[in-house]
Structure 1
């Protein structure tokens, strides 16, 4: 279009130029020049027309070329869109086919499940029908037995009436002959029977007592011999006392302190009893709780090494040792679970495993017993053909089966049930929890791991020399003594000393006044006397201490 306009413009310019030249020639009066001008003008017009035509042809050619290119481009775009649509259709079709196949598989699985459930229901219905038929048979048998019993009852009732009549007749005849009423005769007969029975009972009693004494002596000797044979020497004093060695006896006076204040402060802070006697270069630390005894031993060692021994320093050192003891307990627990290849244990349970190191069960170290039980559980589970996962679960349950014995919670539950609750609270799987709770048959066993743990616990405990009954009962009595005192309001701490012959009770000064100290001591002693069994007597000492602190600045 622009080319056509340009050609037209050139033609118009040529005409204008010719017109101007013609006008000049007219004004000049030269005809020849006018003619030449006209010719030149005609030539210019023709040339302009040719140029315009050429430009028009070129423009038309370019327009046709552009139109052809546009059509080709549109065709390519169209073909590409068609190809994309085909590809998308193919993908959607493939996806549809895949989903269709998966749906068919799912429907087939569901159909199989439905068939299985139908078979199960059918078998249950058959079982119920057979049971119903059996019940009907039993019901008919019971009915026949009932009818027979009713007949027998009627016969017995008839015989009873006849016997009653005969008895009444005989009694009247006897009353006439013996000149005694029925009541008098019955009383005389009862007295005679009673005297005879008492005589026979006394004879049987004497014989039973003699036999019991004989059997008791024989069984006592047998038990003592077995105990000596099964006793392990390494457990004789491990759970009762620790001996702290001194470089010289001169340090004993510094440890005792003025009027024994250092000893009292150390005993009050640790709860252990310190015995300073004539034993050369040694102090005995006695406590039924191994953790208290170990804290006391370490604190005493540091105090002696430091040289500064006074109540304030004692309290400071004991506090640090207690903190380090907690860290040591956690380290022992972590090392134990790593050695046993037990993973994913809750940190609280790891700490409880560490506390087992300082506890004993019938003289047997609880951590060693738990490790031994865990290893036995793993071996037994493998021998039973259980899969590796169940073997690990058995080992885990064996390690945790006595976790209730080291619980920091005060509870009236048995250690098995308490341990099960602790495991449930801290995320252990149901098989482990059931094995812990059922290893003393206190709950029903629901999996194969539970009897494995129970059997391995019995094997470990029954190993010759593993356990002692006497020490366990002693520790239980000491623990019950402290728990009894802690049950009173205002009691802060309670420590059993001198093998349970003394109970030292520390009260809070804000809750218990000086006037109430005597009453509290009396009430504790009365409760011990009424509820506990103990040899000799128990001395109850109630301590009330109030500290007033002020700073001079």
Structure 2
């Protein structure tokens, strides 16, 4: 409502009050009498006067209100000006604080920039060191290649020497035949001398014929035993040398014709990341992504300070492979959340199963085994994800198949059957950790299910000496298995197991009578036995070596073979004074 309207209302109210007052006064004085015209005029005049006075009062009040309004407007303007100054001062204060904060942030950014530059410089130094290490390793590899070339030349020279030895062996064989003929001639001469001695004994000792015969036979028997042991030893050594030479030739030829890869599966794999920001995405909010991934794959993800690398840890190579491929797909896709992780892991598991089956099929085709039941392809391929003493079982089985097949070809045996038995001799290891029990029993059941022939079943049992060898091809598989396991670098053995094996070897040797001391050398591949010369003769030392070797075979399990060397030494010392 405006000021003028207020004034009008006030004036009207005052006029009404004055009129009411006048009328009431008049009625109090003139109550009871009639009103005259004069009185009415007088009342009108008084009313007009009162109206004028009211207008004057209203004009005064309006002027006062106007003055008050102007005063209030002036005061309001002063207040607005004061608030404007206060706002400007506050704004300047805020601007000053903002500039100070900006300066601090800038200093912090400069500090972090310097730290980042220092970190980058350190990483560059590490990369340079890594490059230097790689260059050194390249030099080492080149030196190793030179060593291998030299060894190849040495093998070529040895092959020439072996050929010359073959000629010498043939020559020795002819000489041995001549010696046998001479031996027969000497036996006839000995018989003639024996008859003469009988006559001489009868003449000198006056013995009866029976007594003389008994004495001569006793002496002849003792001499014949010694001579026969010498002849047996010589013939056996010559036959052993010839057999050993032939076996070495066949084995050397078989091994030289293959060049298997040495693959040792460790317990970790690494996955490279495009950048370090992926580590946070892999971990996820409150770690839910990494927990889901580890739960679905059964591995441990190690995310440390190593730049752009995530480590996958697990003793199961199959789980490690599934986790590695799944993580690579998730990184390429970029969508990393629990639902996507579950989808990718399930997809990779199906792809791995198909990959395993295809790997088994390719292995059979590579070995020329086209008639193996297709149901075995999956189990053969699964051997790739199994290790034995850090040796990949599939590569070991392929190596055994190749070596056994090549040796069978050299000997004119069934090479295909030897390769088949060599490939499947450890097939039980593909599922032994799932079913439990001996891998030989599981392998037998599996091969029977898919209709494998008897030589394969015999190889599965015989290569662990659980049953005798019934086929020559199986004997070759057992030899090839020992060669593959004993090859340097193929397997690793724990220190505790190694020490136990050496202690048991020495204790077996020392249990024999006449053994003064025993030493296991060449990592347990050879045992050297010192015998007491007073208790053991040369011929007995020969027999002792055979008995010790037989007992070692019966009581110990070991890769490859153990050489038994019996040393008998007699020393006679005298001083010249």
Does the pair score TM above 0.5? no
Q: TM-score, normalised by structure 2?
A: 0.40
Q: TM-score, normalised by structure 1?
A: 0.41
